[in-house]
Amino acid sequence: MLAKKGSSGFGFPVWSRLNPLILLILASVMVSPADGQTVAQKTVPLKVIDVKDPGGQILSYRHLADSTLVHMRGTRLAPKAQIAVKIGSRPGFVELDINRGGISGLEPAYKLGKDFLTYVFWAVSVDGKASNLGEITFEDERPIPVNLTTPYQTFWLMVTAEPNYAVVDPSAQVVLYSVKQVSKSENAALPIRGDLFFFTHYASYETAPGGAVAGIPNQLLQARKAVELASKSGVLASGERNANVKEEGYTHEALKQARTFLDRSEAAYKRDPKDQAVVQFARTSAQSAENARALAMGAVGGLLMRQLENELKEARNELAKLRGAEAAAGKASTPDTKMERVEAAPPAPAPPAAPPALVKQPALWFAVAGWAVALVLLFRRRSI
Protein backbone atom coordinates (compact mmCIF):
# COMPACT_ATOMS: atom_id res chain seq x y z
CA MET A 1 0.00 0.00 0.00
CA LEU A 2 2.72 2.42 0.93
CA ALA A 3 6.09 2.58 -0.73
CA LYS A 4 9.13 4.82 -0.78
CA LYS A 5 9.90 5.41 -4.41
CA GLY A 6 12.78 6.65 -6.46
CA SER A 7 10.43 8.10 -9.07
CA SER A 8 6.92 9.50 -9.12
CA GLY A 9 3.85 8.35 -10.98
CA PHE A 10 4.17 11.43 -13.19
CA GLY A 11 7.36 10.08 -14.74
CA PHE A 12 9.66 12.58 -12.99
CA PRO A 13 12.25 11.65 -10.37
CA VAL A 14 11.24 12.13 -6.78
CA TRP A 15 14.10 14.60 -6.40
CA SER A 16 12.46 16.88 -8.98
CA ARG A 17 9.68 17.44 -6.47
CA LEU A 18 12.11 18.91 -4.00
CA ASN A 19 13.17 22.52 -4.14
CA PRO A 20 16.90 23.42 -4.42
CA LEU A 21 17.13 24.24 -0.70
CA ILE A 22 15.97 20.74 0.25
CA LEU A 23 18.40 19.19 -2.25
CA LEU A 24 21.21 21.16 -0.58
CA ILE A 25 20.08 19.92 2.80
CA LEU A 26 19.90 16.29 1.65
CA ALA A 27 23.38 16.55 0.16
CA SER A 28 24.88 18.21 3.21
CA VAL A 29 23.76 15.58 5.70
CA MET A 30 25.51 12.88 3.66
CA VAL A 31 28.87 14.64 3.20
CA SER A 32 31.92 12.95 4.72
CA PRO A 33 35.05 14.74 5.93
CA ALA A 34 38.57 14.11 4.63
CA ASP A 35 39.35 11.47 7.22
CA GLY A 36 36.57 9.22 5.89
CA GLN A 37 34.35 9.38 8.96
CA THR A 38 30.66 10.15 8.55
CA VAL A 39 29.33 13.49 9.75
CA ALA A 40 26.74 13.11 12.52
CA GLN A 41 23.24 13.55 11.11
CA LYS A 42 21.40 16.26 13.01
CA THR A 43 18.25 16.36 10.88
CA VAL A 44 16.03 13.97 8.96
CA PRO A 45 15.63 14.41 5.18
CA LEU A 46 12.23 14.42 3.52
CA LYS A 47 10.76 11.12 2.39
CA VAL A 48 8.09 10.59 -0.22
CA ILE A 49 5.18 8.25 0.52
CA ASP A 50 2.93 6.99 -2.28
CA VAL A 51 -0.57 5.70 -1.57
CA LYS A 52 -1.01 2.77 -3.93
CA ASP A 53 -4.58 1.74 -3.05
CA PRO A 54 -7.01 1.75 -6.01
CA GLY A 55 -9.62 4.39 -6.70
CA GLY A 56 -7.82 7.32 -5.09
CA GLN A 57 -8.72 10.70 -6.52
CA ILE A 58 -7.55 14.32 -6.32
CA LEU A 59 -10.56 16.66 -6.48
CA SER A 60 -10.92 20.37 -7.21
CA TYR A 61 -13.76 22.28 -5.52
CA ARG A 62 -15.00 25.30 -7.44
CA HIS A 63 -17.71 27.63 -6.10
CA LEU A 64 -20.59 25.18 -5.88
CA ALA A 65 -24.25 25.99 -5.41
CA ASP A 66 -24.47 23.24 -2.78
CA SER A 67 -22.26 20.76 -0.93
CA THR A 68 -21.00 17.53 -2.48
CA LEU A 69 -20.42 14.15 -0.81
CA VAL A 70 -16.94 12.60 -0.87
CA HIS A 71 -16.22 9.10 0.43
CA MET A 72 -13.03 7.89 2.08
CA ARG A 73 -12.00 4.23 1.91
CA GLY A 74 -9.89 2.27 4.39
CA THR A 75 -6.45 0.93 3.49
CA ARG A 76 -5.10 -2.50 4.44
CA LEU A 77 -4.29 -1.04 7.87
CA ALA A 78 -8.01 -0.37 8.46
CA PRO A 79 -9.96 -2.34 5.83
CA LYS A 80 -13.34 -1.80 7.53
CA ALA A 81 -12.94 1.95 7.99
CA GLN A 82 -15.15 4.36 6.03
CA ILE A 83 -15.85 8.09 6.19
CA ALA A 84 -18.46 10.19 4.40
CA VAL A 85 -17.43 13.85 4.12
CA LYS A 86 -19.79 16.63 3.11
CA ILE A 87 -17.68 19.27 1.33
CA GLY A 88 -18.73 22.77 0.36
CA SER A 89 -16.77 25.53 -1.35
CA ARG A 90 -16.87 28.96 0.31
CA PRO A 91 -15.16 32.24 -0.62
CA GLY A 92 -11.54 31.80 0.49
CA PHE A 93 -11.83 28.30 1.97
CA VAL A 94 -13.37 24.84 1.63
CA GLU A 95 -15.50 23.42 4.46
CA LEU A 96 -15.59 19.74 5.42
CA ASP A 97 -18.46 18.38 7.52
CA ILE A 98 -18.50 14.90 9.08
CA ASN A 99 -21.83 14.23 10.73
CA ARG A 100 -22.60 11.70 13.45
CA GLY A 101 -22.28 8.24 11.96
CA GLY A 102 -20.09 9.55 9.15
CA ILE A 103 -17.07 7.62 10.53
CA SER A 104 -17.25 3.85 10.93
CA GLY A 105 -14.95 0.85 11.32
CA LEU A 106 -12.05 2.84 12.81
CA GLU A 107 -10.31 0.98 15.64
CA PRO A 108 -8.07 2.59 18.33
CA ALA A 109 -4.81 3.94 16.94
CA TYR A 110 -2.55 2.13 19.42
CA LYS A 111 -3.24 -1.13 17.54
CA LEU A 112 -1.10 0.23 14.69
CA GLY A 113 1.95 0.83 16.90
CA LYS A 114 3.16 1.90 20.33
CA ASP A 115 3.79 5.46 19.13
CA PHE A 116 0.24 6.01 17.86
CA LEU A 117 -2.46 7.50 20.08
CA THR A 118 -4.86 9.34 17.76
CA TYR A 119 -5.94 9.97 14.17
CA VAL A 120 -5.44 13.18 12.16
CA PHE A 121 -7.21 14.47 9.04
CA TRP A 122 -4.99 15.83 6.24
CA ALA A 123 -5.65 17.78 3.07
CA VAL A 124 -2.86 16.99 0.61
CA SER A 125 -2.15 19.37 -2.27
CA VAL A 126 -1.26 18.20 -5.77
CA ASP A 127 2.46 18.78 -5.04
CA GLY A 128 2.50 16.53 -1.95
CA LYS A 129 2.24 19.12 0.84
CA ALA A 130 0.05 17.79 3.67
CA SER A 131 -1.88 20.21 5.89
CA ASN A 132 -3.13 19.13 9.33
CA LEU A 133 -6.90 19.78 9.41
CA GLY A 134 -7.65 18.39 12.85
CA GLU A 135 -8.00 15.36 15.08
CA ILE A 136 -10.61 12.62 15.07
CA THR A 137 -11.68 12.38 18.70
CA PHE A 138 -13.63 9.60 20.35
CA GLU A 139 -16.23 9.47 23.09
CA ASP A 140 -16.91 6.02 24.52
CA GLU A 141 -15.03 4.54 21.53
CA ARG A 142 -17.36 6.36 19.11
CA PRO A 143 -15.96 9.06 16.80
CA ILE A 144 -17.30 12.56 17.45
CA PRO A 145 -18.65 14.63 14.50
CA VAL A 146 -16.17 17.24 13.26
CA ASN A 147 -16.27 20.39 11.16
CA LEU A 148 -13.02 21.28 9.39
CA THR A 149 -11.78 23.90 6.93
CA THR A 150 -8.87 24.24 4.52
CA PRO A 151 -7.63 27.09 2.30
CA TYR A 152 -6.73 24.55 -0.39
CA GLN A 153 -9.00 24.49 -3.45
CA THR A 154 -7.60 21.31 -5.01
CA PHE A 155 -6.55 18.38 -2.81
CA TRP A 156 -7.12 14.81 -1.73
CA LEU A 157 -7.97 13.69 1.80
CA MET A 158 -6.32 11.15 4.05
CA VAL A 159 -6.36 10.08 7.69
CA THR A 160 -3.19 8.86 9.42
CA ALA A 161 -2.40 7.36 12.82
CA GLU A 162 -0.33 9.84 14.85
CA PRO A 163 1.35 10.19 18.27
CA ASN A 164 -0.42 13.51 18.94
CA TYR A 165 -2.95 15.88 17.43
CA ALA A 166 -0.45 18.71 16.67
CA VAL A 167 1.93 16.90 14.32
CA VAL A 168 3.39 19.05 11.53
CA ASP A 169 4.05 16.19 9.08
CA PRO A 170 2.00 12.99 8.64
CA SER A 171 3.21 9.52 9.48
CA ALA A 172 3.37 6.76 6.88
CA GLN A 173 0.47 4.94 8.58
CA VAL A 174 -2.34 5.95 6.22
CA VAL A 175 -5.66 4.40 7.27
CA LEU A 176 -8.13 6.25 4.98
CA TYR A 177 -7.99 8.14 1.68
CA SER A 178 -10.52 9.87 -0.59
CA VAL A 179 -11.83 8.03 -3.67
CA LYS A 180 -13.55 8.95 -6.93
CA GLN A 181 -17.01 10.44 -6.74
CA VAL A 182 -19.91 8.43 -8.10
CA SER A 183 -22.25 11.40 -8.35
CA LYS A 184 -22.57 13.13 -11.74
CA SER A 185 -24.59 16.09 -10.44
CA GLU A 186 -23.79 19.74 -11.08
CA ASN A 187 -22.27 19.97 -7.59
CA ALA A 188 -19.75 17.19 -8.15
CA ALA A 189 -16.11 18.17 -7.71
CA LEU A 190 -13.79 18.30 -10.70
CA PRO A 191 -11.50 15.20 -10.83
CA ILE A 192 -7.78 15.92 -11.31
CA ARG A 193 -5.40 13.36 -12.77
CA GLY A 194 -2.34 12.50 -10.69
CA ASP A 195 -0.90 10.09 -8.14
CA LEU A 196 -1.62 10.30 -4.42
CA PHE A 197 1.67 11.05 -2.65
CA PHE A 198 2.97 13.22 0.17
CA PHE A 199 6.23 14.29 1.80
CA THR A 200 7.12 13.84 5.45
CA HIS A 201 10.01 14.08 7.90
CA TYR A 202 8.22 11.67 10.24
CA ALA A 203 8.49 8.26 8.59
CA SER A 204 10.13 6.43 11.53
CA TYR A 205 7.79 5.28 14.28
CA GLU A 206 7.46 2.20 16.47
CA THR A 207 4.91 0.04 14.63
CA ALA A 208 4.82 -2.91 17.06
CA PRO A 209 1.24 -3.03 18.41
CA GLY A 210 0.72 -1.21 21.69
CA GLY A 211 -1.86 -1.69 24.40
CA ALA A 212 -4.67 0.32 25.89
CA VAL A 213 -3.91 2.43 28.97
CA ALA A 214 -6.98 2.42 31.16
CA GLY A 215 -7.98 5.46 33.19
CA ILE A 216 -5.42 7.96 31.85
CA PRO A 217 -6.84 10.67 29.54
CA ASN A 218 -5.71 10.25 25.93
CA GLN A 219 -4.61 13.90 25.84
CA LEU A 220 -2.16 13.30 28.69
CA LEU A 221 -0.80 10.23 26.91
CA GLN A 222 -0.33 12.32 23.77
CA ALA A 223 1.59 14.97 25.71
CA ARG A 224 3.90 12.36 27.24
CA LYS A 225 4.59 10.84 23.83
CA ALA A 226 5.13 14.26 22.22
CA VAL A 227 7.74 15.25 24.81
CA GLU A 228 9.42 11.84 24.49
CA LEU A 229 9.69 12.07 20.70
CA ALA A 230 10.88 15.70 20.77
CA SER A 231 13.60 14.85 23.30
CA LYS A 232 15.01 12.24 20.90
CA SER A 233 14.93 14.47 17.81
CA GLY A 234 17.79 16.27 16.03
CA VAL A 235 19.73 18.79 18.10
CA LEU A 236 17.51 18.10 21.12
CA ALA A 237 18.83 14.54 21.42
CA SER A 238 22.40 15.65 22.16
CA GLY A 239 21.43 18.34 24.65
CA GLU A 240 24.18 20.60 23.28
CA ARG A 241 23.57 24.19 22.24
CA ASN A 242 25.26 26.18 19.50
CA ALA A 243 25.39 29.79 20.64
CA ASN A 244 25.81 30.93 17.02
CA VAL A 245 22.43 29.52 15.97
CA LYS A 246 19.51 31.41 17.53
CA GLU A 247 16.99 28.87 16.22
CA GLU A 248 18.59 26.22 18.46
CA GLY A 249 17.79 28.40 21.45
CA TYR A 250 14.16 28.65 20.35
CA THR A 251 14.04 24.88 19.89
CA HIS A 252 15.37 24.12 23.38
CA GLU A 253 13.06 26.75 24.85
CA ALA A 254 10.01 25.13 23.17
CA LEU A 255 10.94 21.74 24.65
CA LYS A 256 11.45 23.31 28.08
CA GLN A 257 8.00 24.88 27.85
CA ALA A 258 6.49 21.55 26.81
CA ARG A 259 7.97 19.84 29.86
CA THR A 260 6.67 22.61 32.14
CA PHE A 261 3.09 22.20 30.87
CA LEU A 262 3.38 18.41 31.04
CA ASP A 263 4.39 18.68 34.72
CA ARG A 264 1.35 20.89 35.34
CA SER A 265 -0.92 18.37 33.62
CA GLU A 266 0.57 15.50 35.64
CA ALA A 267 0.11 17.46 38.88
CA ALA A 268 -3.50 18.29 38.00
CA TYR A 269 -4.14 14.63 37.17
CA LYS A 270 -2.83 13.54 40.58
CA ARG A 271 -5.10 16.03 42.33
CA ASP A 272 -8.20 15.20 40.30
CA PRO A 273 -8.17 12.92 37.21
CA LYS A 274 -11.35 14.59 35.93
CA ASP A 275 -10.06 18.14 36.25
CA GLN A 276 -10.30 20.03 32.93
CA ALA A 277 -6.85 21.48 33.61
CA VAL A 278 -5.41 18.02 32.85
CA VAL A 279 -6.58 18.22 29.23
CA GLN A 280 -5.81 21.94 28.89
CA PHE A 281 -2.20 21.66 30.05
CA ALA A 282 -1.67 18.37 28.20
CA ARG A 283 -2.73 19.79 24.83
CA THR A 284 -0.52 22.85 25.33
CA SER A 285 2.38 20.57 26.21
CA ALA A 286 1.85 18.44 23.08
CA GLN A 287 1.72 21.53 20.89
CA SER A 288 4.96 22.99 22.30
CA ALA A 289 6.72 19.62 22.11
CA GLU A 290 5.65 19.16 18.50
CA ASN A 291 6.93 22.64 17.65
CA ALA A 292 10.28 21.74 19.20
CA ARG A 293 10.46 18.45 17.30
CA ALA A 294 9.55 20.10 13.98
CA LEU A 295 12.28 22.73 14.48
CA ALA A 296 14.85 20.15 15.53
CA MET A 297 14.20 17.89 12.53
CA GLY A 298 14.01 20.66 9.93
CA ALA A 299 10.28 20.23 9.24
CA VAL A 300 9.74 23.97 9.86
CA GLY A 301 11.88 27.05 10.45
CA GLY A 302 15.43 27.79 9.38
CA LEU A 303 17.35 25.82 11.98
CA LEU A 304 18.80 23.40 9.46
CA MET A 305 20.05 26.16 7.16
CA ARG A 306 21.61 28.06 10.07
CA GLN A 307 23.39 24.87 11.14
CA LEU A 308 24.69 24.30 7.62
CA GLU A 309 25.90 27.88 7.32
CA ASN A 310 27.83 27.62 10.61
CA GLU A 311 29.26 24.23 9.72
CA LEU A 312 30.40 25.60 6.34
CA LYS A 313 32.01 28.59 8.05
CA GLU A 314 33.84 26.31 10.49
CA ALA A 315 34.99 24.06 7.64
CA ARG A 316 36.37 27.04 5.74
CA ASN A 317 38.24 28.26 8.83
CA GLU A 318 39.76 24.81 9.35
CA LEU A 319 40.78 24.65 5.69
CA ALA A 320 42.44 28.07 5.93
CA LYS A 321 44.38 26.97 9.02
CA LEU A 322 45.56 23.77 7.30
CA ARG A 323 46.71 25.69 4.24
CA GLY A 324 48.57 28.17 6.44
CA ALA A 325 50.28 25.35 8.32
CA GLU A 326 51.27 23.63 5.06
CA ALA A 327 52.67 26.88 3.64
CA ALA A 328 54.71 27.51 6.80
CA ALA A 329 56.04 23.94 6.79
CA GLY A 330 57.02 24.21 3.11
CA LYS A 331 58.89 27.49 3.65
CA ALA A 332 60.81 26.10 6.62
CA SER A 333 61.97 23.05 4.62
CA THR A 334 63.51 25.11 1.71
CA PRO A 335 67.44 24.89 1.73
CA ASP A 336 69.31 28.17 2.26
CA THR A 337 71.97 27.32 -0.39
CA LYS A 338 69.29 27.01 -3.01
CA MET A 339 67.98 30.40 -2.07
CA GLU A 340 71.50 31.89 -2.31
CA ARG A 341 72.11 30.38 -5.76
CA VAL A 342 68.85 31.75 -6.98
CA GLU A 343 69.67 35.22 -5.61
CA ALA A 344 73.34 35.16 -6.94
CA ALA A 345 72.39 34.21 -10.47
CA PRO A 346 73.06 37.18 -12.79
CA PRO A 347 70.08 38.53 -14.60
CA ALA A 348 69.69 37.43 -18.19
CA PRO A 349 70.76 40.05 -20.75
CA ALA A 350 67.90 41.89 -22.32
CA PRO A 351 67.36 41.13 -26.04
CA PRO A 352 68.29 43.96 -28.46
CA ALA A 353 65.46 46.28 -29.23
CA ALA A 354 63.89 45.48 -32.58
CA PRO A 355 63.50 48.33 -35.08
CA PRO A 356 60.01 49.72 -35.08
CA ALA A 357 57.88 47.99 -37.63
CA LEU A 358 56.71 50.14 -40.53
CA VAL A 359 53.17 48.94 -40.12
CA LYS A 360 53.16 50.36 -36.60
CA GLN A 361 54.39 53.86 -37.77
CA PRO A 362 51.54 55.72 -39.55
CA ALA A 363 53.68 58.88 -39.97
CA LEU A 364 56.24 56.98 -42.10
CA TRP A 365 53.43 55.66 -44.27
CA PHE A 366 52.22 59.16 -45.00
CA ALA A 367 55.77 60.40 -45.70
CA VAL A 368 56.52 57.58 -48.15
CA ALA A 369 53.19 58.05 -49.88
CA GLY A 370 53.86 61.81 -50.24
CA TRP A 371 57.34 61.29 -51.79
CA ALA A 372 55.92 58.72 -54.19
CA VAL A 373 53.23 61.11 -55.42
CA ALA A 374 55.82 63.91 -55.81
CA LEU A 375 58.12 61.66 -57.87
CA VAL A 376 55.27 60.58 -60.14
CA LEU A 377 54.29 64.18 -60.81
CA LEU A 378 57.92 65.15 -61.41
CA PHE A 379 58.52 62.42 -64.02
CA ARG A 380 55.21 63.17 -65.68
CA ARG A 381 56.09 66.87 -65.93
CA ARG A 382 59.49 66.05 -67.60
CA SER A 383 57.82 63.75 -70.06
CA ILE A 384 55.45 66.51 -71.14
Q: What is the mean pLDDT of residues 77-88?
A: 94
Q: With bands split at pLDDT 50, 70 and 90, how would you rate the model's confidence at 179?
A: very high
Beta bridge partners of 198: 49
- Percentage of residues in the chain with pLDDT exceeding 90? 45
Is residue 6 a contact partner of residue 15, using CB atoms and an 8 Å limit? no
What does DSSP assign to residue 17? G
Amino acid at 92: G
Q: What is the 3-state secondary structure (H, E, C) of 325-376?
A: HHHHHHHHCCCHHHHHHHHHCCCCCCCCCCCCCHHHCHHHHHHHHHHHHHHH
Is residue 135 a contact partner of residue 118, using CB atoms and an 8 Å limit? yes
3-state secondary structure at position 25: helix
For residue range 293-339, list pLDDT tens digits in order.
Answer: 998 887 665 555 555 555 565 677 777 788 777 788 877 665 554 44
- DSSP string computed for 181-233: ----STTPPEEE----EEEES------S-----SSS-HHHHHHHHHHHHHHTS
Is residue 168 a contact partner of residue 160, using CB atoms and an 8 Å limit? no
Using the predicted structure, report yes or no on whether residue 38 has a pLDDT greater than 50: no
What does DSSP assign to residue 177? E
User: Which stretches of 233-361 are DSSP H helices?
Assistant: 234-238, 246-271, 276-297, 303-332, 336-344
Question: How much is the mean pLDDT over the chain?
Answer: 77
